[in-house]
Structure 1
Amino acid sequence: MKRLWLLVPVLLMVCMLPAMASAAGTAYFKYTYDGGGQVTTNALLKDGTVYVSAGIMESAGLRVTWDKAQKQAMFRGWQKSVKVTVGGRTAAIDGKAVSLGGVPFRYRDELYVPARFLVQALDGQSVSWDAQQRVYTASGIHSYESTSATYGGVTYTVDKKNGKLYTATPAGGMRLMADLGSQLYDMVNFDFKKTGKGLIYLTITDVYGEPHINNKWYTLIIKDGMVIRQASVHYWKRYGDNVKMYGSSLLLTDGRTLRVIEDGTGKVTATLDLVKLGGEEDSYLVEGMDDDFLLIRPNDKGLLMLIDRHTGEKTLLYKELLDPDQQEYAEMNDVPFFGDQLQYLRREGNTLYFENGAVRDGREYPYVLKGMS
């Protein structure tokens, strides 16, 4: 009986060992991205080592998959891979074994890794440790975000950090296709269109900001795997579509000029000055075109204009098609954006048909091209 009572304290100590081993103090991890932006987050100080949530790697654009049997987490992103094993002392960065400088563990359903290792994995730099304030500081943390799409057996990948577009095929390696000219941020999408004579019209859109009020378009014309024409345009609080083709011609705009491009060859057959035609110092959407007319909308005022391509005459369509109340709404309303919500539907003979997105009552608004009735 006495021996049993003697064993109780020992058993209690054994049961407490995991809790004692996992005991950690509070600390902080402050870091900056190489492209700007500073973040401060909670960390843990354990056995003299600062540990941080491996979720920071996900914030940097890496996606995690778990091998529960092996207790391994694999983080993958654009040209970056990190493998970590819970309880292990080595890890792998881009396939190469490295020392962790600590032992990864799970705490409150999160994986924690040594801060120094995380900074190394994300190509950053450790700056300092403030023991009094318990703040571990790092800089130059990289982002590895990318977006990909596959079309015609070719995978297109844009590196969001630097705007470089790469292609890869199963039979060949990866190669740089184009430089889009700027960083991409958030909701990136690809749209592919094959032309009648074998060109590819690729549109990459990026909607970003808070609350997603920026709309950036990157347009590329591709022939035999090579970019032969490209442009980009930025719109603010404006989300309409630019028309890509009319007839057999391709259209490419930077918001201020419009190039008409011959299918098959990529030859520029006409260049239109949208600022001069529209009369507003602004970026324009191109919402319709034919040999005799052009439909453009300035970003700020948002009032759809019809341009007579023969005379250059400009017509504000809301004045021609909408009743007085709807005209006032087009001039004064700013939700979701300034301007009218006329949308071009089709052409029948010399009549153009529109709908009014502000009411969506199923009505069509006809407009007869002047001098052609």
Structure 2
Amino acid sequence: MKKSWLLLPVLLFLLGFPPVTSAASTAYFTAIWENGGQSTSPALLKEGVVYTNANILESAGLLASRSGSGSRTVYTYSSWKKSVTVTTASKTAKLDGQTVSLGGKSFVYKDELYLPARFVVGALGGETVSWNAKSSVYTARNLHFFSSASAVYGGVTYTVDKQTGKLYAQAPAGQPRLIANLGSELYDMIDFNFRKTDGGLLYLTIKDIYGEPHINNKWYTLILKDGMVIRQASVGYWQRYGDNVKMYGDNLILTDGKLLRVIEDGTGKVKETLDLVKLGGIDDKYLVEAMDDDFLLIRPNQKGLLMLIDRNSGNKTLLYKELLDADQQLYAETNDIPFYGDRLEFTGRTGNLLKFKNQAVQDGRIYEYDLSKTQP
């Protein structure tokens, strides 16, 4: 990317502006983002330079921090691929570790930092489009996002670029290394979960809960061996929460909501593939809430009624019909808050008895189902 904009004399930038004044006047900053989105925010015109609120850097995915006080307050905006550091009343900044000219002097107005709009646009990889002197609107386009999420495990930093869905790993003394493409953009509440297996594999789950009011639940699951991704899957649920089971016995589980793969620990070999749509009888994505050699507990996203699948016979049982009274059965069939379906939660097994709680009533009762009922 060319950065000649950092070296241009400020006079070139002033050509389209009204005469220099000492007092700031109201202006507007219109940002057109790389994804086509557009936002307009108040700005200030001061001494012939348009200044925009530095919080637009946060809108681009950079995390903000502040240190010091008064005229020596240092503002830092950073992500794993972009960093901006500015001191109050300074004419220079640190951009990606290099000292550059701001093309003006930063200042604080109403406890908010203001930076020259041209500098901000260049820092975000965009380009200036126009200055409308009549309406005092400064327009820039193709501003890039730099949002990411990171977590550290075993001394390695794992970072996902939320815009591209690419996952990187970085050792303390090394460079970021691309290890996987998750296949889609990530949006909001990113959570990493790491689990080391007895066979030396690493099971990594990245969860993205997004939307308003956070009704989408996207899972990315990856199995790593010696730092390399050897298996991965992803599944998205709508208005459905809860966790897919990760392991049973010495086996790892991967699912895309319609197919389930049983993975051998240590080798990563696929031991078995199960068709959840065929087993459940509904063309939907399923949560996998428990599994063992002889049974499977799955829940379709939309209807949300927990099913018991006997893995030996293939028999299917709707557990709410077996465990709940008439009122609770009606609730399971008609309830839509916070989501459709029953609220049965598997808690474990003793012999042939599967045990559940009913979170819809939270009465402390343990509901038991005898697996031998499903056997032919």
1:263 aligned residue = 265
Aligned to 1:188: 190
Q: Aligned-pair distance for 1:242? A: 0.3
AA aligned to 1:28 is: Y
Segment drifting more, 262-271 vs 303-312: 303-312
Contact in 1 for aligned 2:66/2:73 (Cα 8 Å): no
Q: Which residue of 2 aligns with 1:60?
A: 60
The 8 Å contact of residues 166 and 174 in structure 1, kept in 2 or not, is answered as: yes
Q: CA deviation at 1:204?
A: 0.5
- The corresponding residue for 1:286 is 288
Change in Cα spacing, 1:67 to 1:122, as seen in structure 2 (3 Å) is farther
**Matches of 1:31 and 1:109 in 2, distance apart?**
22
Q: Could you tell me which residue of structure 1 aligns to residue 94 of structure 2?
A: 92
1:297 is paired with a residue whose SS is strand
SS at match of 2:76: strand
SS of alignment partner, residue 354 of structure 2: strand
State the 1:89 CA deviation.
Answer: 2.2
Alignment partners' CA distance in 1, 2:188 and 2:216? 10
Supply the AA of the counterpart residue of 1:177: I
Segment drifting more, 82-91 vs 153-162? 82-91
Query: How is 1:1-373 mapped onto 2 (pairs within 5 angstroms)?
Result: 23-62=23-62, 63-68=64-69, 70-369=72-371, 370=373
Residue 37 of structure 1 deviates from its aligned partner by 2.0
* Cα distance between partner residues in 2 of 1:145 and 1:230: 23
CA deviations 1:296-347 (Å, max 9, x no partner) are 0000000000111122111110000000000000000100000001011111
Distance 1:59 1:263 in 2: 42
For residue 66 of structure 2, what is the amino acid of its counterpart? T
Which stretch of the first structure deviates more once superposed, 151-160 or 225-234? 151-160
2:9 maps to what in 1?
A: none
User: CA shift at 1:358, angstroms?
Assistant: 0.4
* AA at the equivalent of 2:248: Y
Distance change (3 Å), C-alpha of 1:84 and 1:205:
same
In 2, Cα distance between equivalents of 1:171 and 1:79: 17
- The Cα shift of 1:145 comes to 1.6
CA distance in 1, matches of 2:133, 2:67: 34
CA distance in 2, matches of 1:72, 1:128: 30
1:371/1:275 CA distance change after superposition, 3 Å: closer
Q: 1:70 to 1:274 in 2, by over 3 A?
A: same
> CA RMSD, aligned part only?
1.7
User: C-alpha deviations, 1:103-161, integer Å up to 9, x for none?
Assistant: 11111111111111110111111111111111111111122221111111211111111
Distance 1:279 1:33 in 2: 44
Residues 350 and 372 of structure 1 are in contact (CA less than 8 Å); yes or no, is this contact kept in structure 2? no
AA aligned opposite 1:200: L
Q: How many Å apart are 1:372 and its aligned residue?
A: 6.1
CA distance in 2, matches of 1:51, 1:245: 54
Counterparts of 1:352 and 1:232, CA distance in 2: 28
8 Å Cα contact 1:58-1:64 kept in structure 2: no
Which has the higher mean CA deviation after the structures are superposed, 80-89 or 178-187?
A: 80-89
- Whether the 8 Å contact between 1:24 and 1:46 is mirrored in structure 2 is yes
Query: In structure 2, how many angstroms separate the alpha carbons of the residues matched to 1:35 and 1:293?
Result: 45
Offset of 1:99 from its aligned partner? 2.3
**How many Å separate the matches in 2 of 1:152 and 1:90?**
38
**What amino acid is the match of 2:190?**
V
Percent of aligned pairs with the same residue?
A: 65
Amino acid at match of 1:305: M
Moved more, 229-238 or 88-97: 88-97
Q: Secondary structure at the match of 2:89?
A: coil
Q: 1:196 to 1:360 in 2, by over 3 A?
A: same
Deviation at 1:176, TM superposition (A): 1.1
Using the alignment, how far apart are the partners of 2:202 and 2:356 within structure 1? 29
Tell me which amino acid in the other structure corresponds to 1:161: Q
> Residue deviations 1:55-96, cap 9 Å, x none?
111222222333436343222212111122332222221122
User: What amino acid is aligned across from residue 35 of structure 2 in structure 1?
Assistant: G
CA contact (8 A) 1:163 1:180 kept: yes
Q: Which amino acid aligns with 2:304?
A: G
CA drift at 1:371: 5.5
1:275 alignment partner, SS class? helix
Contact 2:21 2:48 in 1 (8 A): no
